[in-house]
Amino acid sequence: MKKYILIFRTSVRNKQDIKRIETLFVQFPQIDKWHVDLENWEKVLRIECREMIPATILNALQTIHIYAKELE
């Protein structure tokens, strides 16, 4: 099965934001792993998934007031 890696710059500020993302991502069984680097100034969100779904993820994050932009 093909794996995709999606990388986003985000507006995540703290661990509470990460908890909200964790709750949200339960709805996405195609996401295998994810991580937010709070040390990076861009608060990079890295997602390993089985489907190429960047637009879906961006829209879902907006519903919990996390703004993101896909990095290339």
Backbone angles phi, psi at 4, to 5 degrees: -120, 150
3-state secondary structure of 36: strand
Going from the N-terminus, what domains does the chain have, and what CATH number goes with each? 2-68 (3.30.70.100)
pLDDT score, position 1? 80
pLDDT score, position 39? 97
Distances (CA, A) of 63 to 3, 41, 57, 68, 70: 26, 23, 10, 12, 17
Per-residue pLDDT of the chain (72 residues; tens, 9 = 90+): 899 999 999 999 999 999 999 999 999 999 999 999 999 999 999 999 999 999 999 999 999 999 999 998
pLDDT score, position 72? 83
